[in-house]
Structure 1
C-alpha cells in the first residue's frame, strides 16, 4: 500500500510485526569525495550547501577517511573511488539502495548526479560480486532519489517518502515497488527541504528523530511521532540546522551522526535517545557538510 492518507497508512502500519527483515544493515558502502567541490546544479535546490569558498577538499577527504575507519570497526564497509566529474558522489545512498537479494538504481534530478548511476564498478559489485538482481530506475523520467527521499523502517517494511523536486509521486511508487515495501506514506516536505533523510531518521525500527520544521503538514509529524512513541524525538530548529536529523543506526544500540549534530543535541534529546537504548557516536564532518549532506547521506546500506 502506498498512500497520502495518514489514517489509512497508520491503520495498516499498526498491524505489521517487525518481521520484514533485519532492522539494520549487514554492511555499508561509501564513495570517496574525490574532486569534492560545489556542484552548481545541486545547489539550486539544496539550501544546506555552502558557497564555493566554503569547500575544503583536503579536509573533506580526511574526514571521510575517518568515517570509513569508524564504520569499519562495527560492520564491513566498502569505499569506492570518487570521480572529479561527479562532485556529489560521496552521497551514494541517493543513487544506490538495496533490499534482500536486489539493488536499486535511482533516478537523480540533476544531470551532474545522473552520471553516478552509470558507474559500472558499483553496479558490478552488487550484480556481479553479491549476485543481487538489478532494478534500474535511472532511465525513467520520474525523480526518485532513493534513501534520500525515502526513509525506511526496515524492521516493518515501512516507507516515509517526502515529496519535493527530488522525488515525485510516481517516483515514490517506483521505489516502494522496487524495494518491496509493505506500506509507504507520501507527504510534502516543507518549502526549501530537498530530502526526507535530513528531517527524519528511523532508528533500528524502534525510535525516530523528527525535525518538525521540515514537514509541510504538522499532522504528518504528529502521526510519525505517535507511531514511534514513546521513542519519538522531536528536534529543535537548532538541531535541525546542524543535521541532527541526518542520523543512522547501524546496530541496535548506537546512533551515528556528525560531531556538529551531536554537539547541538539538547539534554532532552540525549535523554530520549538513551531511553530508547541508543548511545550517540559522532564523527567530525563539517567539511563534508559544506556539500549539503551529512553522515547519513554518506552511507549506503547493504541488506
Structure 2
C-alpha cells in the first residue's frame, strides 16, 4: 500500500516559533504575537483540520502533547517516527535538540492498546551523538509500492544514514539536492516533503528546486518509470506549501489529496484539474501553523501502516 486511511496526529499545548529550527527552515516567520495566542490559534487550526479529515472517513488517531518537556514542534510527528506494514516502527535522529524530546514511548503503547501491532523497532537516534540527522518522512519521500525512497540532502538528511535506512527497509535510494533562493543565495531546502509529494499515480514536485540537471533527470526518470504523472509546481507555490501534501484514504476507499488552504489557493486551474482528475482535494486553513512552524498539512500527519491484531 502506498497510502493509508489511518493518521497519527499530535495536538499541541505549547506551539510557537521554534528558534532552534529557524536556523535552516527558511519557511518560518515570526508572528509578533504572544505564545499563548499563537498556541490557541494553532489548536483551533488543528481541531478544524482533524474534523475535516474525520468527516471524510479518515481514521485520525489524536494524541495530546504534554506540557513537559517543552516541545513547540510536537504538532509535526512525521519527523521522528515512521510506521510500516510489516509491524516495524523506525525512530529518527532530529536536528533540533528540543525536537528530540518529541519522541514518546507512550505513543507506541497507546497504538498497541488500540489494536496496532508493533513487532520491531529500528532506532537510528544514536546518530545524534555524531551530529547526523534523518528526519523520517520529512527527509524522505517513500514509494512503498515500488520500494524507492527520494531524499533531498540537507542538514536534516544525511546521505549515509539515508542509505542505511534504504538497506534496512530494502528501498532503492534516489538522492538529490533541492535548493531555494534565500536573500539571493541558493540554500538547501530543509525537508524533502515541502518540495515533493508522492501519491498513488501522480507526483507533485518543485522541479525548479533541483538545480543539477542530471539529478533532475534522474528523479523524473524514476517517477515516470513507475507510471506517475508529474505535476510541477513553482518555487513560489512551494512557499505556499503546495509541495507539502499527502494522499489518504477516506470512507468507501475514496482518495483525497490533503493540503492547506494556502497551498490550494496557490495552485493554477490547470494544476487543480490535473489533481482532481486523479482524486478529490481536501484543504484546511493552517496559516498560523505554517507561518510559525514552517511546516504544513503533510508534516502534521504521521501515516500508520501497522497491521492490526487479529480479534
Query: Normalising TM by the smaller chain, what interval?
Result: 0.7 to 0.9
Aligned length: 278
Asked if 1:174 is matched to 2:164, the reply is: yes
Further displaced range: 278-287 or 288-297: 278-287
Asked if 1:93 is matched to 2:78, the reply is: yes
Corresponding residue for residue 14 of structure 1? none
Match of 1:33 among 12, 22, 31: 12
Q: Could you say what secondary structure the match of 2:107 adopts?
A: helix
Q: CA deviation at 1:192?
A: 3.7
Change (3 A) 1:216 1:126: farther
- Matched residues in 2 for 1:169 and 1:299: separation? 24
Q: CA deviation at 1:278?
A: 1.9
- How well do the aligned residues superpose, as a CA RMSD in angstroms? 1.9
Taking the TM superposition and a 5 Å limit, the aligned residue runs for 1:139-288 are 139-141=126-128, 142-178=132-168, 180-190=169-179, 191-204=187-200, 206-229=201-224, 231-251=229-249, 253-275=255-277, 277-288=278-289
- Matched residues in 2 for 1:240 and 1:61: separation? 24
| Cα pair 1:103 1:126 within 8 Å, conserved | no
| Cα pair 1:231 1:273 within 8 Å, conserved | no
Asked if 1:63 is matched to 2:45, the reply is: yes
- Matched residues in 1 for 2:263 and 2:64: separation? 27
Further displaced range: 121-130 or 237-246: 121-130
Segments of 5+ residues of structure 2 without an aligned counterpart are 180-186, 306-311
- Matched residues in 1 for 2:24 and 2:229: separation? 32
- Matched residues in 1 for 2:66 and 2:112: separation? 21
Corresponding residue for residue 301 of structure 2? 299
With the length of structure 1 as denominator, give the TM-score of the two structures: 0.86
| Cα pair 2:138 2:193 within 8 Å, conserved | yes
Q: Deviations over 1:74-130 (max 9, x none)?
A: 22211111234000110000001011111111110110111112x121132356652
With the length of structure 2 as denominator, give the TM-score of the two structures: 0.84
Q: Deviations over 1:216-271 (max 9, x none)?
A: 42433333334444610010222111000000100363211100100110112112
